[in-house]
Amino acid sequence: MGPLAGIKVVELAGIGPGPMCAMLLADLGAEVLRIDRPEPGDLGIPRERRFDLLLRGRRALALDLKKEAAKALALRLIDRADGLIEGYRPGVTERLGLGPDACLARNPRLVYGRVTGWGQEGPLAQAAGHDLNYIALVGALHAIGRHGQPPTPPLNLLADFAGGALWLAFGLVCGILEAKRSGQGQVVDAAMIDGTAALMTAFHGMIASGFSRHERGTNFNDSGAHFYEVYECKDRRWVSVCAIERRFYAELLRRLDIDPQSLPPQMEREHWPAAKARLAAVFRTKTRDEWCALLEGTDACFAPVLTTDEAARHPHNRARGTYIELDGIVQPAPGPRFSRSAPETPIPPQESDPEAALAGWLDPAEIAAARTAGIFSNETARQ
């Protein structure tokens, strides 16, 4: 089931963008096999496997790829794959004997997906880094934050997940589509700096035109404007308003019982701080739920600021089925939606289980031979 049904992908275990890319593909029907390390990584987040939600939707197999027999098994799996995901530093898979040249020589139609922070080449290619570093280098971090305040880390959404996982997933699907026509695979180099830079495309245009400034917290969509802001309510909860268009701005003021003539023209930037103070005083007169009763569902471009727990309980998200529950854990549902080839509900994150993991890849005799040879480094991968 799902639009990617029939696509096989091998995932070499990593953190951040690689697992999320694999989850996205598995959510939409691809058969993804995760090759885990026999020992845990050094991320340092102690938790049960079932809470590592990016690992849902696929089976896991623990292999010590430094051993020749385990590497040979991995190559046999790659022979049968349409795509591969790896997120190591440049050169690591080559040193393991699992680099693009070795894999494409055996499977010429393979699409070999690589995701790194800095890219496969360049002065920083071998340097360690994380999301915050990558968004800093391409101007995204500098633009996020309030006026007079330091840049604000926006979780690790931009580089790891938008500029990395989504960028790689898009590249892999494009490569697999092309390979279906040409019969030839290729390497997809998804650098998080490239992906995040692409996300900044519209802002380059706004800066170039003079519409936006490099000084953060002074622009219409970075907390500079009163009509694109979050406001604290009487109960110390928060609401958001994004009434950019004139008609939506007029609707917001009408519902706040503010005379438009008592405020300066909407786009006069020098008057935004005073207008923001005016709206802030109004929003402090009611609780968040009272504002929801008045503004939700209108053209005032309004939404309450919710926690993840509250988001799953919100009536709109419940009606949409935006969240599902797997193994007792509420989490976002697969997406986007498809009218005809809807995917099945994903399975929860799995421990290493050689028979289950390899069932769709090798015949029983091959699996039994691998077990006899002691290839499976542990029957149940530790966290």
Q: How far apart are CA 224 and CA 226, in angstroms?
A: 7
Are residue 122 and residue 149 in the same domain, yes or no? yes
What is the pLDDT, as a whole number, of residue 378? 61
Confirm whether 105 is domain-assigned.
yes
Pairing of strands 83-86, 31-36: unpaired
Shared-domain flag, residues 132 and 25: yes
Residues 191 and 236 placed together within one structural domain of the fold: no
Pair 153, 43 in one domain:
yes
Asked if residue 218 belongs to a domain, the reply is no
CB crowding 275-302: b at 16 or more within 10 Å, else e:
bbeebeeebeebebeebbeebbeeebbb
Q: Are 306 and 180 within one domain?
A: no
Q: Rg for the chain (alpha carbons), in Å?
A: 25
Distance (Å, whole) CA 196 – CA 33: 27
Backbone angles phi, psi at 343, to 5 degrees: -75, 165
pLDDT in tens, 138-184: 999 999 999 999 999 999 999 999 999 999 999 999 999 999 999 99
Is the residue at 379 inside a domain? no
Maximal CA-CA distance, the chain: 82
Count of the separate structural domains present in the chain? 2
Catalytic option among 27, 82, 131, 160: 160
Give the per-residue pLDDT at 112.
Answer: 98
DSSP H or E segment with residue 281: helix 272-283
- C-alpha 223 chain-centroid distance: 24
Confidence at residue 41, expressed as pLDDT on a 0 to 100 scale: 58
Judge if 170 and 21 occupy the same domain: yes
Distance of CA 68 to the CA centre of its chain: 34
Q: Are residues 314 and 344 in the same domain?
A: no
The residues, any chain, with a CB within 8 Å of residue 247's CB and separated by 6 or more, are 299
Beta bridge partners of 323: 332
What interhelical angle do 288-295 and 246-255 show, nearest 10?
120
Residue 380: predicted pLDDT:
42
Q: Which two tokens stand for residue 336?
A: 């986007």
- Residue 329 corresponds to which amino acid? I
What CATH number does the domain containing 278 carry? 3.30.1540.10
Q: Which domain holds residue 57?
A: 8-199+339-372
Say if residue 33 is in the same domain as residue 122.
yes
Q: In the chain, which ranges are E strands?
A: 8-12, 31-36, 59-62, 83-86, 111-116, 186-191, 228-232, 238-242, 302-304, 323-326, 329-332
305 and 361 together in one domain: no
Give the position of tokens 């490569």: 175
Measured distance CA(101)–CA(354) in Å, rounded = 27
Exposed/middle/buried for residue 83 (C-beta within 10 Å: 0-12, 13-18, 19+): buried
42, pLDDT greater than 60: no
d(CA 176, CA 82): 7
What letter does residue 267 receive in the DSSP assignment?
Answer: T
303 and 361 in a single domain? The answer is no
Contacts of 117 (CB under 8 A, 6+ apart): 129, 130, 133, 134, 159, 164, 191, 192, 193
CATH code, domain with 192: 3.40.50.10540
Would the pLDDT of 381 be above 50? no
- The pLDDT confidence band at residue 382, using thresholds 50, 70 and 90, is very low
Catalytic one among 64, 130, 271, 314?
130
Q: How far apart are CA 381 and CA 379, in angstroms?
A: 6
The mean pLDDT value for 222-242 works out to 98
Q: What is the pTM of this model?
A: 0.94
**Same domain for 346 and 314:** no
pLDDT tens across 274-317, in order? 999 999 999 999 999 999 999 999 999 999 999 999 999 999 99
Confidence of residue 39 (pLDDT cuts 50, 70, 90): confident
Of 4, 20, 9, the closest CA to residue 342 belongs to 4
pLDDT at 38: 85
- The residues that bridge with 241 in the sheet, in sequence order, are 229, 302
187 and 79 belong to one structural domain: yes
Is 156 part of any domain? yes
Active-site annotation holds for 160: yes
101 flagged as catalytic = no
> In 3D, which of 111, 112, 151 has the Cα closest to residue 131?
151
